A and B are shown apart, each in its own frame.
Chain A
Amino acid sequence: MKFNRVAVTGMGAMCGLGNNLDEVWANALAGKSGVTTLQNQNTENWPVTFGGEVKNFKLDPELMDPKDQDRFDLFNQYALHCTDEALKQSKLLSAGYAMEKIGVVFGTGLGGFPHIEKNHQIFLEKGARRVSPFFIPSVIPNMPEGLISIKWGFKGINFAVASACASSAHALGIAATEIMLGRQDAMITGGTEAVITGYTIAGFASMKALSKRNEEPSRASRPYDVDRDGFVMGEGAGVIVLENYEKAKARGAKIYAEIVGFGASADAHHFTAPHPEGLGAMICMQQTLDMAGVPKEEVGYINAHGTSTPLGDAAETGAIKKVFGDHAYKLAVSSTKSMTGHLLGAAGGLESIFCIKALETGMLPPTINLDKQDPACDLFYVPNKAEKRDIKYALNNSFGFGGTNSSTLFKKAE
């Protein structure tokens, strides 16, 4: 069986660095931090009061009726916003594909936590009769896909992937498969997440997973630095339009990159801690290279999972060294979470976009706040300043609680 090639023809992004792709990318290359003291909510009594929060966001009423905007939790709205941007860039709507050949699959790690928290409060204080009829539709993880299909009429495959912080990387793999197999001509994929609430932060803080650097938020996310003390909550979305390569070419679409491989594995070790030698991550990266049939020496950039946790960054570094051998010291690795915070289930979507933009522009986004590199993390992490480097292949890593791993390999457009 011959598999179809998969082209990236559109992207949409939002996070603490900005509310559209151009802004996000420009700020990432400038090495800016999107992490601030939280402004959108009252954070009294929260153990952690900062994050990579989206600012000044108002969804276009064309994309969702204003009366619904109070009802549908933010992760739905972020998905609509970024899908609109990606669709415009790709001009997919005028491509002439049958609607049943266009699918939507996103990754979402947690879903509508803000509305769960809000309705639970109402349930306790005012009783069952006051729980909103929009509560369930608003919070289920696959509602973004539903709303997008309703808005644009896409009638192909439609569901959500949930694998914690690897969700959207897995979604991308699934979406690419659909096109490779010829079941779909185009896929809207990536991820969306918006769970910066007291409840979620309290949960992650109890696990001692979060940085507590409340006094200097923009310095808190510092992957590979000796003083890293946990991850920083982020939010946002990264949406990618994938198309059957030959069909995209035939319609004259601009192709930004190709997806040529992806892998998925489990650590089978612990429910939250990474395998100390990064065993699952190794399996996953190797599988990705094998699927693509690309020699490891051709990979020029890795957008690492790199969450700024003491264990995770070292384990991933170890895994990269085992998979790439000497070449690990020649390629560039960076963690853009140093700037965006951790978008959880949306991380793989946004960070895949960083890989694609790196291939397109020949510029690698930096790891900021890398002041004193941890000896256990001894690769080249593009410290603090973007790096100009022409690369042919870029790899994205995303790992999640449950010990789940996903990697995706992108190839520069021909």
Chain B
Amino acid sequence: MELQDKVIKLVSEATKMDAANISLNTSFVDDLNLDSLDMVELMMKMEDEFGVEIPEDETENLKSIGDVVTYLKAKSH
């Protein structure tokens, strides 16, 4: 599974939103209605799933699925 699909799957499970409605452009706040606590929990799940540590000040820049995918790709290099 591609990284993008993995991220979408994880977000879909965490938010109980249909994966079909989630794309690279999907915004966590505007489209998925997530608040700051939701985001903390989601980032924990990302860290567990992808084995990375996402520092708090960086999570503020991760506003969409696409942002997360780009970030994770950069981290893996």
Judge whether A130 and B44 touch: CB under 8 Å: yes
Judge whether B44 and A129 touch: CB under 8 Å: yes
Could you jot down 18 A-B contacts, CB within 8 Å?
A65-B16, A66-B16, A67-B14, A67-B15, A67-B16, A71-B41, A129-B44, A129-B47, A130-B44, A130-B48, A132-B41, A132-B44, A133-B37, A133-B40, A133-B41, A134-B37, A134-B41, A137-B37
The 7 closest A-B pairs by CB, nearest first: A133-B40, A133-B37, A67-B16, A66-B16, A133-B41, A67-B15, A130-B44
Number of interface residues of B (CB under 8 A): 9
Residue in B15, B37, B47, B48 with the greatest tally of chain A CB atoms within 10 Å: B37
Which residues of B are at the interface with A, using a C-beta cutoff of 8 A? 14-16, 37, 40-41, 44, 47-48
- Per the bound structure, the CA–CA distance linking A129 and B43 in Å amounts to 10
- Per the bound structure, the CA–CA distance linking A67 and B42 in Å amounts to 12
Task: Return the CB mask of A381-411 against B: 1 if under 8 Å, else 0.
Answer: 0000000000000000000000000000000
For A132, the chain B residues whose CB sits under 8 A away are: 41, 44
- Per the bound structure, the CA–CA distance linking A1 and B6 in Å amounts to 67
Min C-beta distance of B54 to chain A, whole Å: 10
- Per the bound structure, the CA–CA distance linking A129 and B44 in Å amounts to 8
For A66, the chain B residues whose CB sits under 8 A away are: 16
Task: Return the CB mask of A189-215 against B: 1 if under 8 Å, else 0.
Answer: 000000000000000000000000000
Q: Is the interface of B mostly helix, strand, loop or mixed?
A: helix
B32 and chain A: residue at smallest CB distance: A67
- Per the bound structure, the CA–CA distance linking A238 and B9 in Å amounts to 39
Min C-beta distance of B17 to chain A, whole Å: 8
- Per the bound structure, the CA–CA distance linking A132 and B40 in Å amounts to 8
For B40, the chain A residues whose CB sits under 8 A away are: 133
For A67, the chain B residues whose CB sits under 8 A away are: 14-16
Min C-beta distance of B15 to chain A, whole Å: 6
B40 and chain A: residue at smallest CB distance: A133
B56 and chain A: residue at smallest CB distance: A129
Given contacts A130-B48, A133-B37, A134-B41, 13 further A-B contacts (CB under 8 A): A65-B16, A66-B16, A67-B14, A67-B15, A71-B41, A129-B44, A129-B47, A130-B44, A132-B41, A132-B44, A133-B40, A133-B41, A137-B37
- Per the bound structure, the CA–CA distance linking A66 and B15 in Å amounts to 8
For A134, the chain B residues whose CB sits under 8 A away are: 37, 41
For A130, the chain B residues whose CB sits under 8 A away are: 44, 48
Task: Return the CB mask of A136-153 against B: 1 if under 8 Å, else 0.
Answer: 010000000000000000
- Per the bound structure, the CA–CA distance linking A66 and B16 in Å amounts to 7
- Per the bound structure, the CA–CA distance linking A129 and B59 in Å amounts to 14
For B37, the chain A residues whose CB sits under 8 A away are: 133-134, 137
Min C-beta distance of B18 to chain A, whole Å: 12
Task: Give the contacts of A84-130 with B (CB-CB under 8 A).
Answer: 129-130
- Per the bound structure, the CA–CA distance linking A67 and B14 in Å amounts to 7
Min C-beta distance of A80 to chain B, whole Å: 17
- Per the bound structure, the CA–CA distance linking A132 and B14 in Å amounts to 13
For B14, the chain A residues whose CB sits under 8 A away are: 67
Min C-beta distance of A30 to chain B, whole Å: 38
- Per the bound structure, the CA–CA distance linking A67 and B17 in Å amounts to 9
- Per the bound structure, the CA–CA distance linking A134 and B47 in Å amounts to 17
- Per the bound structure, the CA–CA distance linking A67 and B15 in Å amounts to 6
Min C-beta distance of A70 to chain B, whole Å: 9
B14 and chain A: residue at smallest CB distance: A67
Min C-beta distance of B53 to chain A, whole Å: 8
Task: Give the contacts of A246-301 with B (CB-CB under 8 A).
Answer: none
- Per the bound structure, the CA–CA distance linking A134 and B40 in Å amounts to 10
